[in-house]
Amino acid sequence: MKPKPRRTTSEQPVIGWKLDLALDPNHELVRLAAVIPWEDLTAEFGRLYVPDLGRPGIPVRLMAGLHLLKHTYGLSDEQVVKGWVENPYWQHFCGEEFFQHHFPIHPSQMTRWRGRIGEKGVEELLQATISAGKATGTITERSFEKVIVDTTVQPKAIQHPTDARLYRKVDAAMLRIAEAEGIRLRQSYRKLMEWGFRKHEGHAKARQFKRARKVLRSLKTIAGRVQRDVERKLMSGDIRN
């Protein structure tokens, strides 16, 4: 059957319907909003505000809800504020009664609010999500027996394996073998290797590739000399006691 054409009307729709009447009650954010202890968070963070000084502060549920959405979906402050305007479920989660068409706050206010609540406040938000997970059955006691840590954003000492680094690595490995086996080398070239490596890195960074290739050939020669010296004395048994 062919789809029927969409019906249009010139009547003005009703404006200002409550969000809880227009949204799906089985949606995950609607169900989650019903079990998070917003009153406890308001009481905990409300103590950080001065009662009768300055302009009224942003509601605690709005700020806490934005931060929970930010970390749930992996967004930046700007992205979560922009998404809040476009998503009625996000607005309901943050405590809005009617759909809003303007930004609730400036993204920089989220940074200042995190500074206000501090590390202890962030732990309170985490505890609130854990309590909500227990209430909905999403989290059980067995869930705390194993912790999975995502380290993809942690800085790691990973270096690109350039030829210069590989030659220095070969030289260092040969020197360790010589020290462990008690081999007396004709010359270790330790300082010369380090000097040449830094020289090569400087030329490469300055895009002086001709000079860098010249130093690279010297590093290859040094690594080869040390390697052949170690192999020769291992085979001949020239090892001091």
Q: For the chain (length 241 residues), average pLDDT per consecutive 10?
A: 48 60 82 81 77 72 84 84 85 83 81 81 77 65 61 66 88 90 87 92 91 93 91 78 45
Q: Are 34 and 91 part of one and the same domain?
A: yes
Domain residue limits at 172? 163-236
Question: What gap in Å lies between CA 136 and CA 31, rounded to an integer?
Answer: 9
The number of domains in the chain is 2
Q: Identify whether 241 is part of a domain.
A: no
Q: Are 90 and 58 part of one and the same domain?
A: yes
- Looking at residue 213, what is its pLDDT? 93
Q: Are 127 and 38 part of one and the same domain?
A: yes
Q: Identify whether 155 is part of a domain.
A: no
Q: Identify whether 32 is part of a domain.
A: yes
Q: Identify whether 147 is part of a domain.
A: no
Q: Are 125 and 35 part of one and the same domain?
A: yes
Helices (H), the chain: 19-22, 28-33, 38-46, 60-73, 77-86, 88-93, 107-136, 163-181, 190-205, 209-236
**DSSP character at residue 142:** G
Q: Are 37 and 127 part of one and the same domain?
A: yes
Q: What is the DSSP track for 63-101?
A: HHHHHHHHHHHT--HHHHHHHHHH-HHHHHHTT-SB---
Q: Identify whether 13 is part of a domain.
A: no
Q: Identify whether 10 is part of a domain.
A: no
Q: Are 27 and 96 part of one and the same domain?
A: yes
What residues contact residue 122 under an 8 Å CB cut-off, 6+ apart?
Answer: 114
Question: What gap in Å lies between CA 151 and CA 229, rounded to an integer?
Answer: 42
- Looking at residue 240, what is its pLDDT? 58
Q: Are 101 and 44 part of one and the same domain?
A: yes
Q: Identify whether 153 is part of a domain.
A: no
Question: What gap in Å lies between CA 155 and CA 138, rounded to an integer?
Answer: 32
Backbone angles phi, psi at 208, to 5 degrees: -95, 75
Distances (CA, A) of 205 to 51, 88, 212, 224, 234: 58, 51, 9, 25, 39
**DSSP character at residue 241:** -
- Looking at residue 4, what is its pLDDT? 45
